Amino acid sequence: MLQQPSVSERREIPGPRPWPVVGNSLTLLRRGMMPMLRECWRRHGDTFRVHFGPKALTVIVHPDDVERVLLTERDNFYKGASYGPFRLLVGDGLVTSEGEKWRAHRRVAQPAFNRGSVAALAGKMTRATEAMLESWAPRLQVGSELDIHEELLGLTMAIIGDTLFGLDLRGSIDRSAAAFSVALDELSRRGNELVRLPLSWPTPANVRLRRALETLDRTVHGIVAQRRASGEHGDDLLGALLAGHDEHGRPLDDRALRDEVITFFLAGHETTALALSWAWYMLTTRPDIQEALHAEVEAVLGGRTPTAEDVARMPYTRMVLQEALRLYVPTWSGARDVAAPTRLGGYTVEPGEIVMYLPYFTHRHPEFWDDPLTVRPERFTAEATARRHKFAYLPFSAGPRMCIGNHFSLMEGALILAMIAQRYRFGLSPRARIEPQFQITMRPRHGVRLRVEQRR
């Protein structure tokens, strides 16, 4: 039980001085979210407070405090108003739900993501990747260019459709991926608005968001209806959801099914595509590391297609992916509403306040990462990982709410990375404009444009 400090003992959480009504929103609009937060971290340390309008956010960076929020004192925090805009997209799915509802839905989905279940999906992952590579062959020669982020979004969506929902989505990928992009753009903008207008108001932004949500709803309801019409549940995630029960012992209703399906579509394709896109950008900045990746893939696989068992035989490939997830973590931030007074960084946060943790900064904390901006896959050897604070690295969050699909994503990412490396060596296109866009996920604003280079 937290011993309440007296008024005289309470310390004001440092941060930039807020203006009346607007808080620090003008600075946010002028400088951008990440430059403002980076300057606050530099000036105020691992715990600071920023104000967006009347809303105050206490930002934490140190792994000790992240551990308190996500594990040791997790009952003092919950996913409340801080996830409001995101709920417009995913509803009360596994990412946003709480309490018994979350536990019941997690139990339903968990068997589909056990290590054995995930390993059995490797063949579907590699077949989809092979199809993508075959489509590249006629149009990619030395000197050719492509936006690998766009290509990988389509690939990972196809893999999610096949592995988790038993569907061939090739005919609807472009439409669904575009709708996800619009929804993420508009929801991120909506989250930063000083005055948030009701979604029913016909502003251009609201109209774009509603149309994107309607497109995604039609896709999801079509997926569920198609499976029900087959008369079989199936042995994949969708089958588990259709056969599953909620916290009251009732079958999941249509709204719950919609929320879970759209949650897994978003989390399952977006973050993996981002991790791989940033990994290839990272590799273009370090040709020596790209050559080491090629050498391992050639030594282990030769020209054959990798299997789930091969992932363990390619430790460097996996470490490259993990280093990309460190430097370019797709889920760059998270938040919790405060339910009970808690000490973080030597300060007290109170009920009704919001705490924001930033893996993007925690992954760069110089106390836990030597020369943190240098690309170094060897940070993820077993020995180095064992010595490191367990909450210094959290690309899939941590604690009981760690992403259920972390093993799925890491295996999928390693297989795809290896298969692309078997055939191609990439450099950065002279026309590339690499700019992280800090929205709900960390997307490359202008894509990741690569040029095919001669293999050495």
Domain boundary assignment for the chain: 25-453
How many Cβ atoms sit within 10 Å of the Cβ of residue 304?
A: 9
Taking 80 as the threshold, does the pLDDT of residue 197 lie above it? no
Determine contact, residues 269/412, Cβ cutoff 8 Å. Answer: no
Structure tokens at 270: 């977006």
H/E stretch holding 221:
helix 204-230
Average pLDDT of the residues in 421-450: 95
pLDDT for the residue numbered 58: 97
Per the DSSP assignment, residues forming a β-bridge with 47 are: 60
Average pLDDT of the residues in 6-24: 76
**DSSP single-letter state for residue 334:** E
Q: Chain-centre distance of CA 376, in angstroms?
A: 21
Of the pLDDT bands very low, low, confident and very high (cuts 50, 70, 90), residue 127 is: very high
Between the alpha carbon of residue 373 and those of residues 106, 145, 280, 328, 381, the distances in Å are 36, 27, 17, 11, 18
What are the tens digits of pLDDT across the range 143-175?
Answer: 999 999 999 999 998 999 899 988 776 666 667
Determine contact, residues 359/25, Cβ cutoff 8 Å. Answer: no
**DSSP single-letter state for residue 249:** S
Burial zone of 351 (CB within 10 Å; 0-12 exposed, 13-18 middle, 19+ buried): exposed
The share of the chain scoring above pLDDT 70, in percent, equals 95
Q: Which of 87-96, 139-148, 300-309, 428-437 has the lowest mean pLDDT?
A: 87-96
Q: How far apart are the first and last CA of the chain?
A: 62
347-349 and 334-338 strand pairing: unpaired
Determine contact, residues 82/337, Cβ cutoff 8 Å. Answer: yes
The string of DSSP letters for 11-74 reads: -PPP-PPPBTTTBTHHHHHHH-HHHHHHHHHHHH-SEEEEEETTEEEEEE-SHHHHHIIIIITG
Taking 90 as the threshold, does the pLDDT of residue 416 lie above it? yes
What are the tens digits of pLDDT across the range 341-368?
Answer: 999 999 999 999 999 999 999 999 999 9
Q: Which of 10-24, 87-101, 411-425 has the lowest mean pLDDT?
A: 10-24
Distance of alpha carbon 425 from alpha carbon 215, whole angstroms: 37
pLDDT for the residue numbered 215: 87
Determine contact, residues 223/197, Cβ cutoff 8 Å. Answer: no
Q: Per this entry, what is the length of the chain?
A: 456
| Residue listed under structure tokens 């109170």 | 350
Q: Which of 85-94, 301-310, 387-396 has the lowest mean pLDDT?
A: 85-94
Distance of alpha carbon 301 from alpha carbon 6, whole angstroms: 64
What are the tens digits of pLDDT across the range 28-53?
Answer: 878 888 999 999 999 999 999 999 87
Structure tokens at 132: 């993508």
Taking 60 as the threshold, does the pLDDT of residue 294 lie above it? yes
Average pLDDT of the residues in 52-70: 93
Structure tokens at 332: 């760059």
pLDDT for the residue numbered 228: 84
Give the CATH class of 25-453: mainly alpha
Strand blocks (E) in 17-163: 47-52, 55-60, 77-78, 145-147
pLDDT for the residue numbered 2: 45
Rounded to the nearest integer, the mean pLDDT of the chain is 90
To 10 degrees, what angle do helices 315-327 and 406-423 make? 110
Higher pLDDT, 6 or 446: 446
pLDDT for the residue numbered 9: 46
pTM: 0.92
Average pLDDT of the residues in 395-412: 94
What are the tens digits of pLDDT across the range 106-115?
Answer: 999 999 999 8
Of the pLDDT bands very low, low, confident and very high (cuts 50, 70, 90), residue 6 is: very low
Average pLDDT of the residues in 270-292: 97
| Range from 122-126, 207-211, 269-273 that averages highest in pLDDT | 122-126
User: 347 phi and psi, to 5 degrees?
Assistant: -120, 160
Q: For residue 218, give the amino acid letter.
A: R
